Amino acid sequence: MATLINEGKAKQLFETDDENVIRVHYLNQATALNGKRKEHVDDKGIVNNQIDCLIYNYLGQQGIPTHFIKQLSESDQLVKKMTMLPLEVVIRNRASGSFQRKFDTEYLASFDEPVQEFFYKSDRLDDPFINDSQIHALKIATKDQLKLVREQALKVNDALQALFDKAGITLVDFKLEFGFDADGNLILGDEISPDSCRLVDAKTHDSLDKDVFRKHTGDVMTGYRTVLARLQTTVQ
Ligand code: C5P
């Protein structure tokens, strides 16, 4: 039996024979309100693992250094063990979610350039917004590391926008997490899926992501399955 290292909101992490490699198992679980609401959702783990593997394969092809090694099964994948920065890096191409609420903007209003925001990862503090000087004051990352995080996040945004555009999907906003591999390289880690991205149909603006679960507006898996099917056709 493989040893469980950590259980998150929608994933379990297991040790492997290689100390620098982790097996990620995607759970059929959806959460909202920072884990305070948790529900079983059939097939979610399988669909999200497949979406995440497809996206990470694609980002690797675009030359972006990531934790991803390979897909193992419908629900499992192998990744590099990382020391994570305690930051959520949010990129926004259009106004929605907390940005829309905070600044009372029109839903899906576009920006001249992508908006970048950082949040400090802390369940206890509810992941507060954090700026560059606060990041330096708390010694979370050096100026050079933060510059690289910003550059890599924008590269990921360019690559993902191109991918989703081809699939007829608008990438509204998303969250990334970065960290260091065993050799000290700064690389992209964590899940990229409709759990961590806002995605809307480019024509109808129908929501294809976790907002459906957050707002109780329908069957969350309908959108997730649409995203997987369209991405599969796009990368063929
Ligand atoms: O809620 P907010 O508008 O700030 O979220 C921005 C983006 O970051 C959304 O795509 C959301 O799914 C993602 N996010 C996330 N995990 C969090 C907070 C936000 O994946 N803890």
Please state the domain extents for the chain.
4-80, 83-218
Task: Specify the fold of 83-218.
Answer: D-amino Acid Aminotransferase; Chain A, domain 1 (3.30.470)
Quote the ligand 1 centre to 175 CA distance (angstroms).
Answer: 6
d(CA 53, CA 30): 19
State the distance from the centre of ligand 1 to the C-alpha of 1, rounded, in angstroms.
Answer: 34
Q: Whose CA is nearest to atom 20 of ligand 1?
A: 196
ipTM for the whole predicted complex goes beyond 0.90: yes
Q: Which amino acid is at 107?
A: Y
pLDDT per residue of the chain (236 residues) written in tens, 0 to 9 = 789 999 988 999 999 999 999 999 999 999 998 888 999 999 999 999 999 999 999 999 999 999 999 999 999 999 999 999 999 999 999 999 999 999 999 999 999 999 999 999 999 999 999 999 999 999 999 999 999 999 999 999 999 999 999 999 999 999 999 999 999 999 999 999 999 999 999 999 999 999 999 999 999 999 999 999 999 999 97
Write out residues with Cβ below 6 Å of ligand 1.
Answer: 88, 90, 97-99, 127, 173-175, 196-198, 210
Alpha-carbon span 126 to 98, nearest angstrom: 13
Token pair for 112: 């001249």
Q: Angle, to 10 degrees, between the axis of helix 44-61 and the axis of helix 143-166?
A: 110
CATH superfamily of 4-80: Phosphorylase Kinase; domain 1 (3.30.200.20)
Residue closest by Cα to atom 7 of ligand 1: 174
**C-alpha to C-alpha distance for 226 and 232, rounded to whole angstroms:** 10
- Residue type at 44 in one-letter notation: K
